[in-house]
Amino acid sequence: MGIKHIVFAIILIFLTSGCYAWMTGIVVDAETGKPIDGAVVLVEWTYTSGKWMGLRSTSSYKVVERVTDKEGKFTVSGVFNPLVNPPTVVVYKKGYVAWRSDFIFPDYRKREEFQWKNNYMFKLERFKKIYSHSRHISFLSSSGLSLSSTKLEHAHSWEIPYAREEERLVRKKRNTQKKGEYTEKEIWREVVEELYFQKGEDISE
């Protein structure tokens, strides 16, 4: 391969590495496969400057927010900039676990299967009673996305009172237990069970 071909190949890779075409996604229930109407989808591209000067700084480049239709579909306009980072995606619907393109709730396992491609299917798991709303909100916040966006902020705001009550009870149990009596994980589990299991309340619907 000649020098010209090598240079052309390098330039082509550089130019296409940050090109993300229009995408139509489909949000479905992971168990039933049925489309989910009214799910909020937030996509954010970021730009990292100073990569070659040792002074790295990442800032938001473009944020797109959509709501799925009755068929669970949404369309996001793409980005054609070789300097942007791959997009981060969050999908949220009341009653389901928030879907992130990088990690999986509740144990923060790395998500491997996501690809920015047309007709990609986002499978949402049902939110279980054993899950903490405080930790669920924390999972959303740690995505680094612009969560102050109107639709997503409104969509998950209902969880805040439950999260605060969980945190209040956890603090109370920490203060009243004997030293080393329970682990942090056990305290959280006990609080969640008291709030949701014993009352038989299903607040996620």
pLDDT digits (tens, 9 = 90+) for 19-42: 566 789 999 999 999 999 999 999
Per-residue model confidence (pLDDT) at position 20: 60
The alpha helices in the chain, defined as continuous H runs, are 3-16, 133-141, 150-156, 160-176, 184-192
Let me know: does 25 contact 119? Beta carbons within 8 Å: yes
Cβ neighbours of residue 34 under 8 Å, at least 6 residues apart? 28, 72
Per-residue model confidence (pLDDT) at position 138: 94
Instruction: Work out the average pLDDT over 89-95.
Output: 97
Domains of the chain: 3-197 (2.60.40.1120)
Per-residue model confidence (pLDDT) at position 202: 54
pTM for the full predicted model: 0.81
pLDDT band at 51; cut points 50, 70, 90: low
Dmax (CA) for the chain in angstroms is: 74
pLDDT digits (tens, 9 = 90+) for 140-182: 988 776 655 679 989 999 999 999 999 999 999 888 887 777 7
Distance CA 198, CA 117 (A): 44
Q: Per the structure block, which two tokens stand in for 109?
A: 């396992």
Instruction: Work out the average pLDDT over 79-101.
Output: 92
DSSP-derived secondary structure for 86-108: PPEEEEE-TTBPPEESSEETTTT
Identify which has the larger pLDDT, 104 or 6. Answer: 104
- H or E stretch including 122? strand 121-124
